[in-house]
């Protein structure tokens, strides 16, 4: 919200608690504290809710503060999202992963706004983003004895073979989002610089955890949260999960 919107919010609070709503400094600070919170109906409703519910304990209630607005607004919005029910958008073949994420966020906001109803997932559909599919092409075509020989010869290859035997997604099938190692290249790390010498790059023997997660997302749907292939894991309210659910990491690849 902007300082002028924050001033209106402070005026609403002043109607309840008689504070000085004219302070420009306060409006500026509130706008700063709530920069990512829009001045919408839910935000104003949070002020009313704060002053229309009894204090949690007998201690004298504090004045409304920005964090109260943030928390209560989220409660108002969360209450509109049914437990365990959320709508994944219909997969469209031409949509990129990034476009999907944008559309998914808009959908979550629409559910929380009360503009649409969340519906349970009926059926898993869709495939990976075309670039992911391209990256996966060719995986698994190398003869086993060549794979095994390479596993001993190159750093990072052994971990790849071990993952393959466990049925884990092939982390090296996609570039690493952390160290930017390319497809099929092992992850790298940089030894600290000494004196005036720059650091030196080394191959890591195991992929970065973020790459392992990204590979699982690219390779298979999640058995826990039902995120389709190529779509990050989500919490029941639809927000994206950091990393992936364990069942997705170790599941056998989808046929």
Binding footprint of Zn ion on the chain (CB under 5 A): 176, 178-179, 181, 187, 208, 222, 224-225, 233, 245
For residues 153 and 172, give the distance between their C-alpha atoms in angstroms, rounded to a whole number.
16
Q: Cβ closer to Zn ion: 38 or 177?
A: 177
For residues 42 and 32, give the distance between their C-alpha atoms in angstroms, rounded to a whole number.
18
Q: Cβ closer to Zn ion: 27 or 244?
A: 244
Taking the complex as a whole, how short is the minimal distance between the CB of residue 181 and Zn ion, in angstroms? Answer: 5
Evaluate whether 169 touches 216 at the Cβ level (below 8 Å).
yes
Taking the complex as a whole, how short is the minimal distance between the CB of residue 207 and Zn ion, in angstroms? Answer: 6
Q: Cβ closer to Zn ion: 30 or 86?
A: 86
Taking the complex as a whole, how short is the minimal distance between the CB of residue 187 and Zn ion, in angstroms? Answer: 3
Q: What is the DSSP string of 189-203?
A: EEPPP-TTSPP-EEE
Which of the 8 DSSP states describes residue 56? S
Cα–Cα separations (whole angstroms), residue 141 to 145, 231, 246: 12, 25, 27
CB atoms closer than 10 angstroms to residue 126: 18
Taking the complex as a whole, how short is the minimal distance between the CB of residue 115 and Zn ion, in angstroms? Answer: 26
Q: Cβ closer to Zn ion: 27 or 156?
A: 156
Q: Which residue has the tokens 């007998």?
A: 58
């Amino acid at each position: 919200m902007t300082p002028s919107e924050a001033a209106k919010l402070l005026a609403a609070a002043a109607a309840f608690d008689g504070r000085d709503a004219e302070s420009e400094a306060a409006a500026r600070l509130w706008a700063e504290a709530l920069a990512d919170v829009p001045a919408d109906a839910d935000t104003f409703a949070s002020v009313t809710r704060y002053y229309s519910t009894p204090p949690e304990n007998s201690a004298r209630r504090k004045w409304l503060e920005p964090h109260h607005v943030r928390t209560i607004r989220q409660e108002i919005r969360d209450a509109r999202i049914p437990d365990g029910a959320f709508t994944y958008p219909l997969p469209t073949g031409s949509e990129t992963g990034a476009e999907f994420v944008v559309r998914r966020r808009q959908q979550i906001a629409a559910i929380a706004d009360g503009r649409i109803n969340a519906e349970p997932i009926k059926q898993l559909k869709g495939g990976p983003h075309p670039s992911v599919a391209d990256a996966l092409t060719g995986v698994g075509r190398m003869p086993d004895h060549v794979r095994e020989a390479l596993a001993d010869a190159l750093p990072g290859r052994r971990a790849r073979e071990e993952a393959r035997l466990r049925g884990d997604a092939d982390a090296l099938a996609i570039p690493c989002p952390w160290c930017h190692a390319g497809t099929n290249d092992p992850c790298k790390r940089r030894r600290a610089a000494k004196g005036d010498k720059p650091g030196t790059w080394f191959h890591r023997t195991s992929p970065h955890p973020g790459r392992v997660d990204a590979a699982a997302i690219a390779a298979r749907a999640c058995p826990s949260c039902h995120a389709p292939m190529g779509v990050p894991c989500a919490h029941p309210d639809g927000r994206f999960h950091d990393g992936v659910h364990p069942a997705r990491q170790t599941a056998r690849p989808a046929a």
